[in-house]
Chains A and B, each alone.
Chain A
Amino acid sequence: MSIVFWMISALTLAGGLAAVLLKNLVHCALAVTVAFAGLALLFLQLDAQFAGFAQILVYIGAVAILVVFAILLTRNSETPKEGGVFSRTWLAGLAVAAAVFAVLGWAVLAGAKGLPGGAAAAPAVTVNEIGRALMGRYVLPLEIVALLLTAALIGAVIVAMHETLNVNGNGRAK
Chain B
Amino acid sequence: MLMQEGLPFHPQFVDREFWSVVNSLWLIPALPMLAAGAIALLKQPRRKLAAGLAIGSLSVSLVISLLAFAHVVAGWANHVAVRETVNFTWMQVGAAHVDLGWVLDPLSAIMMVMVCFVGLLIFIYSVGYMAHDENFTRFFCFLALFAGAMLGVVISNSLLLLFMNWEIVGLTSYLLIGFWYHKPSAAAAAKKAFMTTRVGDVFFLLGLVWLFAQTGTLLFYNSGTGSMEPLALGGLLATPSVWGLTAAGAIGLLIFAGAVGKSGQLPLHVWLPDAMEGPTPVSALIHAATMVAAGVYLVARVYPLMQAGIQPGGSTTALTVVTWVGAVTAVFAALIAIAQDDIKRILAYSTISQLGYMMAGLGLGGVAVGMFHLITHAFFKSLLFMGSGSVIHGCDDEQDVRKMGGLRTTMKVTFLTYAAGMLALCGFPIFFSGFWSKDGILEAAKHWSLSSGPFYLLVFGAALTAFYMMRQVSYVFFGEWRGHDHAHESPKVMTVPLVILAFFAMALGAIGTPAWPWFQSFLGNRATSFAWSSFSQPGLMTLMLSSSTVVIVGLLAAWWIYGNKSPRAEEPDVLERAIPPVWVLLRNKMYVDELYGVTVVAFYWWWARVADWLDRRVWGGAVTGVVWAFRGLAHLNRLMDVHWVDGGFDKGCEELAGGGGLLARVQSGRVQTYLRLLALAAAVLAVILIWSSRG
Contact = CB atoms under 8 A, between A and B. Distances in A.
Interface in A94-114: 96-97, 99-100, 103, 107
A144 interface: no
Contact of A103 (B672, B676, B683): B683
B672 A99 contact: no
Nearest to B678: A96
B672 A93 contact: yes
A70 interface: no
Nearest to A90: B672
B679 A100 contact: yes
A115 interface: no
A96 B676 contact: yes
Interface residues of B, number: 9
B690 A92 contact: no
B682 interface: yes
Interface string B663-695: 000000000100010011011001100100000
Interface in A58-89: 87
Interface bracket on A = under 10
Contacts of B672: 87, 93
A83 B254 CA distance: 122
| Main SS class of interface, A | helix
A87 B676 CA distance: 12
A97 B680 CA distance: 8
Contacts of B690: 107
Nearest to A101: B683
B686 A96 contact: no
A92 B682 CA distance: 16
A96 B680 CA distance: 6
A30 B679 CA distance: 26
A100 B682 contact: yes
Nearest to A99: B683
Nearest to B681: A96
A92 B676 contact: yes
A90 B672 CA distance: 10
A87 B671 CA distance: 12
A87 B686 CA distance: 27
Chain A CB within 10 A, most for which of B672, B676, B679, B682: B676
B674 to A, nearest CB: 12
Contacts of B686: 103, 107
Contacts of B679: 96-97, 100
Closest 7 interchain pairs by CB? A100-B683, A103-B683, A96-B676, A96-B679, A96-B680, A99-B683, A103-B686
19 contacts: A92-B676, A93-B672, A93-B676, A96-B676, A96-B679, A96-B680, A96-B683, A97-B679, A99-B680, A99-B683, A100-B679, A100-B680, A100-B682, A100-B683, A103-B683, A103-B686, A103-B687, A107-B686, A107-B690
Given A96-B676, A99-B683, A100-B679, 17 more contacts: A87-B672, A92-B676, A93-B672, A93-B676, A96-B679, A96-B680, A96-B683, A97-B679, A99-B680, A100-B680, A100-B682, A100-B683, A103-B683, A103-B686, A103-B687, A107-B686, A107-B690
